[in-house]
Amino acid sequence: MFLEFIAALAAGLGLLGVVFLLDRLTGRRLARWAYPAAVGLGMLSYSIWSEYTWPERAVVAGTGYVEASRNEVRVWYRPWTYVLPQSNRVIAIDHRFTRRHAEAPNLVLTRVALLARWIPEFSYLVVFDCEENARADLLAGVELRDDGTLEGASWLPLSADDPVLRTACDAREVLNGERAEDA
């Protein structure tokens, strides 16, 4: 958060430099209020840009992430969010951990990452059943058998159009044979 403040300050000072240069080029014809207004506009512009682009930057930062779902909010103290909603949470599938078993091709083991603004990433392993539209979290007491099935898992039913399920199951189809057989 401190680095975000430094970046906003740098954006404000950068715009101040542009206004200062314009003032010099026009023979000092700009009003005195243009200087602090430039700093404020630069800082505000950077802050808005940062708030709207953090999901893309977070997904890119975690190499192998594919965005599955995004939560968008509209709040009264940011009236522009009624026009362009702001994202505050993202659910991503980490394809670096995606595996399937040759004997259970309808099951996909992957890591789900929960990303939020100003909050450390939280991730956990999940097995998705792409035919039954269900999910089982790999918690203590859940055992992955040699045949690719789970023992002791609590399966949670999902709708067929659940975006996280669809993203994980689509990953099942893009796995190459070598990586898919590793599981």
Residue 104 sits in the same domain as residue 163: yes
Domain boundary among 23, 46, 61: 61
| 55 and 72 housed in the same domain | no
56 and 77 assigned to the same domain: no
Angle, helices 2-25/34-61, rounded to nearest 10 degrees: 140
Instruction: Please indicate, yes or no, whether residues 111 and 166 belong to a single structural domain of this protein.
Output: yes
Q: What is the CATH number of the domain that holds 131?
A: 2.40.128
Residues 154 and 74 in one domain: yes
Q: Which pLDDT belongs to residue 177?
A: 46
Q: Are residues 119 and 33 in the same domain?
A: no
pLDDT of the residue at 80:
86
How many angstroms separate the Cα of 27 from the Cα of each of 17, 39, 88?
15, 21, 46
Domain that holds residue 56: 2-61
On whether both 136 and 101 belong to a single domain, the answer is yes
Whole-angstrom Cα distance, residue 120 to residue 77?
Answer: 25
What's the Cα-to-Cα distance from 177 to each of 81, 131, 133, 174, 182, rounded to whole Å? 44, 20, 23, 9, 9
| Other beta carbons within 10 Å of 119 | 10
Structure confidence at residue 174 (pLDDT): 53
Q: Are 111 and 93 contacting, i.e. CB atoms less than 8 angstroms apart?
A: yes
Tell me the sheet residues that pair with 58. Answer: none
The conformation of residue 152, written as its DSSP 8-state character, comes to S
- Please list the pLDDT of the chain residue by residue as tens digits (183 residues): 899 999 999 999 999 999 999 999 999 999 999 999 999 999 999 999 999 999 999 888 877 899 999 999 999 998 889 999 999 999 999 988 888 888 888 899 999 999 998 899 999 999 999 999 999 999 888 888 888 788 888 999 999 999 999 999 987 555 544 444 444
Same domain flag for 81 and 154: yes
Residues 97 and 27 in one domain: no
175 and 113 in a common domain: yes
- Calculate the CA 23 to chain-centre distance: 41
Coil, helix or strand at residue 16: helix
Query: DSSP of 28-68, one letter per residue?
Result: S-S-TTHHHHHHHHHHHHHHHHHHHHHHHHHHHHSTTEEEE
- 73 and 135, same domain (yes or no): yes
pLDDT at residue 172, rounded to an integer? 53
Answer with the one of 61, 80, 95 that is the final residue of a domain: 61
Cα end-to-end span (Å), the chain: 39
Domain count, the chain: 2
Distances (CA, A) of 44 to 11, 41, 110: 9, 5, 39
pTM score of the predicted model? 0.79
